[in-house]
Structure 1
Amino acid sequence: MASEQKSPTPQSRRDVSCNLMNDCEKMDENIYHQIQYDRIDNLETRRENFSNYVLTICTGVLGITLANPNSLDSISIFFIFLFGFAINIISILFIKSTMPFIRMHQIRADEIRKQYDLKLSTINDLIIKPSPKITIRKKDYEFKRHNIYICLHWVIILFFAVVTIHSLLIPKDIN
């Protein structure tokens, strides 16, 4: 005897529909949560890539400048310093401009987690997050990745200034 298939009743359709909606809502929340971390990763990667490009350009310019210091006149040396100063300042400003957006995505992800996954939120709140700090003269300085990049750009600017001053003060060989 062939088995009869029952057609779904309106109530069973509604139950299936509700279960699918709950699953879809949960999936949407998870996707939205993941999108926030993807955006954070994208911003951090873009920021680090930009810094690395600037550092590579500065290293090349300094290498060329230091290889033939006597072949450059004072104006060229000054413009090389200005170039190095400008691109490092732009890089510092770019790093600082991404911070509010990263923080915004972190807050969004935290709110999503707190609202939709209480267990995960509780676990996350219990974990003590590392905070790399250096104390100098009773003042704490945070050395998170973005601060390290900013310090590195200031060091490069300082190095450009020292090389420029040194190059301008060295008497040129008139051969």
Structure 2
Amino acid sequence: MTLYALLLFIHLAGVVLWVGGMFFAYVCLRPTAAEALEPPLRLRLWQGVFRRFFVWVWIAVIGILLSGFAMLGHMGFAAAPKHLHAMAGGGVVMAAIFVYVFAAPYQALSRAVAAQDWAAGGAALARIRRAVHANLWLGILVIVIATVGRALT
């Protein structure tokens, strides 16, 4: 296996984990949890889901960024097609949104669940939901740019 193939695998595996996880959480788990669970249980569920999922997202984000920039560097930043620069820019924005979610609303959710402050937990979860919604659509857009842009070059 070449170094480029290994980097591409790390990159794609990270994207599948992260964007696929956001899709599952937003489209499948969120509405089901809202229908089936009262707020205290729902907030405890989400805090536990995020505690586990965010470990994997950190690994994915670091892997995606390192592998992506390594592949860009290998081909030469100036020589890289424009769609790869757009993909990199989108990835950096997505990573920044994730860092915000982890550092602010997720920490607020964890504190609220520990204190059994369900109103504060609901507000934090709403901020996470909006950020994940934005990041999910941005992730889909980046995938479109990566695939369609490649086909157009």
Specify the TM-score bucket, using the shorter chain as the normaliser.
Answer: 0.3 to 0.5
Greater strand share, 1 or 2? 1
Give the structure-2-normalised TM-score: 0.48
